[in-house]
Structure 1
C-alpha cells in the first residue's frame, strides 16, 4: 500500500516545541553528551553501488546502526539519552544548582540517582537502551515486556541489571501496564511513544536519535534526494524527517515512512488523517516495529514533514535481510535484523512499481539514504531467517571504501 501525504498540515512549519527538540542545536547537544560515553563511536555508512544499479537510482547509502554503543540498534541513542537528561534534571532540583553531563559520576549526583527508578515497555531495543542508561548513571530500571518478546531479547536487557516484568498481550498492552505500575510506585516512565499529557520524555528520546542524522550528513558525499525510514510508533521516522527538514530547509529530501503491513499504525493514521489505533492481528516478523498505535508527538511531526507512507510485507523484510547478508558486486555484507532493513525494503518495493516511482520522482539521478536500524538483536532468529550466523556475515571481507 502507498499514499502521498494529504494532511492539511503537510509542509507547514513544525510546532515550536518540536523544532526545538529536533533542530540542529539540540542534535549538537546530544552529540556532546555522547562524548561522555565510553563506547561511543560514529556508526558506519556504507555505499551499495550494485543494488543502486539494480534499482535504477544514482546511489544507495545505508547507515548501519548495528554497531551503536554496543547495543546493536539505533535505540541506544534514545532511551539512555533521556535517562541521563532526567537524572541531571533531578540532581539539579535536589542540589539547587545547574548540573552538567560532565558531573554525571560525581558522588553527590550518584547519591541522587541511587534513589531513582526508570521504567518502560519494550519490544526489545528501547528497553535495552533504558536499562543501559540506568546502569550507567546508577539508577534502577524496571522493564515491561509482552508475551511476543523472545527470551534472547529479555536476557539481553536483564544483563544490565534491570528488573524484568512479563505481561500478557501486545506492546501497547505493555505500555499501558508500565504506565499504571509506574504511577503507583513513583517510578519515572521513559517511553518512546507518547499519549495525551505525556510528550516531553518521548521528545527527549526522539532528540537522542538526531545524533545519527548529524553523523550521516557528515558522512554522505552529497545530501540525499530520497530517504526511506521504517516506523513502529513513528519516533525514529519523525526524528529523522524532522531534523532533515530543519537542517536542510528547502533542500530537504523526499521522505517516505515505511510500515509493516501487519502493524501499519502510522500508515493507517496517515490514511485517516488523525491518530488511530489499529486492531491486533497476526504478528509480524518485524518484531521491533509491531506497534498498533502511533506516538502523538511523532505523528504531529510526520503529518508536516513526511511526503509519503507505504507498507512492506513479511517476505520483503526477510528478502532484505538475505540480500544484505549475500550482496552482489562490490556491495558490502551487512547484518540487518528483522526490522533493520524495512526502510530498504520500502525502497526496493517503490523502485519496482512504476506508479510509485513516478509519484516519488525516483529516477536515475536519485540519491537514496536508508538506515539499518538494528543488527541481529536475536541471533538465533537471524540465523533461522538468513541461513547463516550473524558473526559469519559480519566477518565477510568488506571493501575499504564501502
Structure 2
C-alpha cells in the first residue's frame, strides 16, 4: 500500500487512574440487554472479522461490530433512546423494567406524552421510533445542515422534526427550553446539572452492543479484545462502552483509543487539559462526521474516559472518508460493511496509521502488534445515502 499522511493528533491519557464506574457494570448492562431482547425483531448485530485487513496492517484480528444492521434504523442509537424511554415510563407508572412490555404499556398510558430531543439524526430517529412504538408523540430538533434523508426518516416515524439555524449544542439548549415551556419529557444523550438520570439510562442502553460483541468473541474462541476504538461526540457511547469493557476486563485489561473529528474535538481537548477538566469547543462544528459534531462533553461519560481511556485522537475528515471506502471495498473475502461518516472513522484510523511515515512509532505508542485483537464499532450505515455515494463513488474527501 501507499505511504501517505493524514492529520491525526494522538495523545496519551496522562489522567488515567483506572477507577471503574458502577453505572456501567456487567449487571447494569445485562438489565439493558434483557430489555432489548423483548423488543420485537431484536437480534444481535453482526461482529464481522476482517482477517485480510488485519493481515495487511500487521495485527492479529480486526473485528467490526456492525450497527448498520440494528433493527431497520441503520444505527445503534435506538438502544439508548428506547431504553431511556422505557425506564422513564416504568418510573412514571411504577413498573419494574424487568416486567416492561410495549403492548401492556400502550394500554396503561392514560395521558398522552411527548418526548423531545435534539439530534444529528440517529438519536432522534431512535427516540421517534420508541415513541411511535408506544403511540406517543415526539418532537425532534436538528442542527443546521441536517441531511434531508435523516429528516425524512424521523418524520416517517410520525415525529415532528424541526431543523434549526444553530449548531448542535445550541440546538440542545433550544430543545430543552421548548420542552420546558410545553411540558414535554426531554430524552437527551448528554447531561447537565439536574439532568443526569435519563442520559445515564441512554448510556446504559448502549452497553448492549458491546455485551453482544463480548459473547460473539467468545463464540469465535477469542478471549478478549486487546484494543477498542471508540468514536466520541459528547462521549455517551464511548463512556458507556468503555465503562462496561473496563468493568468486564479491568481498566488495565484493555487499551482504548477515543476518536474525534478535529472540528469538534472536545474530548481530545479535555484529555490534554492540565487538570483533566472538561473543555468545550464552539463554532460551527463543521465536520462530515455529523454524529460526532458536538462541542460539549457529557459530564457522565467524561469521568469514565478521563479515568480509563488509553489515548485520545483528533483527526481530519479524510480519515473517516478513508474508512468508508475501506469498509465498503474490502480485501479478499472480508465481508463488506456499509458505514457512514461517523461509523467509519475507526477503520479509517487503522489504515491511516498503517500508511503513515511514522507508522512504527504510532504502533509502539498504542501497543499494536501482530497479536493485537482490535474491536471497532461501526455506529451507522449510509444514513445519508447521497453523501455516502459522493465519498465512496465520487472520491469526495480524497487523500
Mean Cα displacement is larger for which, 59-68 or 244-253? 244-253
Greater relative contact order structure (CA < 8 Å, 6+ sep) = 2
Residue 4 of structure 1 corresponds to 12
In the TM superposition, 1:2-401 aligns within 5 A as 2-7=10-15, 10-14=16-20, 18-19=21-22, 21-92=23-94, 98=96, 100-106=98-104, 110-112=107-109, 114-220=111-217, 221-222=221-222, 223-249=224-250, 252-272=253-273, 273-281=276-284, 283-351=286-354, 352=356, 353-387=359-393
Conserved 8 A contact 1:145-1:167: yes
Using the alignment, how far apart are the partners of 1:252 and 1:69 within structure 2?
32
Conserved 8 A contact 1:48-1:332: yes
Q: CA offset at residue 365 of structure 1?
A: 1.1
Using the alignment, how far apart are the partners of 1:123 and 1:190 within structure 2?
14
Which whole-Å deviations, capped at 9, do the CAs of 1:376-396 have from their partners, x for residues lacking one? 1111221121118xxxxxxxx
Q: CA offset at residue 91 of structure 1?
A: 1.3
Q: CA offset at residue 179 of structure 1?
A: 0.7
Conserved 8 A contact 1:233-1:292: yes
Which whole-Å deviations, capped at 9, do the CAs of 1:55-89 have from their partners, x for residues lacking one? 11111010100001211111121111111111121
Using the alignment, how far apart are the partners of 1:113 and 1:36 within structure 2?
23
**TM-score, with structure 2 as normaliser:** 0.90
For structure 1, list consecutive stretches of 5 or more residues without a partner in the other structure.
Answer: 389-402
Q: CA offset at residue 355 of structure 1?
A: 2.3
Displaced runs of 4 or more, over 4 A = 97-100
Secondary structure at the aligned position of 1:27 is classed as: helix
For structure 2, list consecutive stretches of 5 or more residues without a partner in the other structure.
Answer: 1-8, 395-399
Q: CA offset at residue 323 of structure 1?
A: 1.3
Secondary structure at the aligned position of 2:376 is classed as: strand
Q: CA offset at residue 321 of structure 1?
A: 0.6
Using the alignment, how far apart are the partners of 1:356 and 1:281 within structure 2?
31
Q: CA offset at residue 110 of structure 1?
A: 3.3
> CA, structure 1 residues 99+229, in 2 after alignment: closer, same or farther (shift >3 Å)?
closer
Secondary structure at the aligned position of 1:78 is classed as: helix
Mean Cα displacement is larger for which, 119-128 or 278-287? 278-287
Q: Per residue, is there more helix in 1 or in 2?
A: 1
Using the alignment, how far apart are the partners of 2:86 and 2:278 within structure 1?
30
Two-structure CA RMSD over aligned residues (Å)? 1.7
Mean Cα displacement is larger for which, 277-286 or 266-275? 277-286
**TM-score, with structure 1 as normaliser:** 0.90
Secondary structure at the aligned position of 1:54 is classed as: helix
Conserved 8 A contact 1:336-1:372: yes
Q: CA offset at residue 111 of structure 1?
A: 4.2
Q: CA offset at residue 100 of structure 1?
A: 4.8
Using the alignment, how far apart are the partners of 1:2 and 1:300 within structure 2?
19
Q: CA offset at residue 98 of structure 1?
A: 4.9
> CA, structure 1 residues 282+123, in 2 after alignment: closer, same or farther (shift >3 Å)?
closer
Residue 6 of structure 2 corresponds to none
Using the alignment, how far apart are the partners of 2:66 and 2:227 within structure 1?
17
Using the alignment, how far apart are the partners of 1:248 and 1:338 within structure 2?
29
Q: CA offset at residue 344 of structure 1?
A: 2.0
> CA, structure 1 residues 250+207, in 2 after alignment: closer, same or farther (shift >3 Å)?
closer
Secondary structure at the aligned position of 1:256 is classed as: strand
Using the alignment, how far apart are the partners of 2:113 and 2:285 within structure 1?
38
Conserved 8 A contact 1:143-1:163: yes
Which whole-Å deviations, capped at 9, do the CAs of 1:164-193 have from their partners, x for residues lacking one? 122211111110001111111111111011
> CA, structure 1 residues 159+139, in 2 after alignment: closer, same or farther (shift >3 Å)?
same
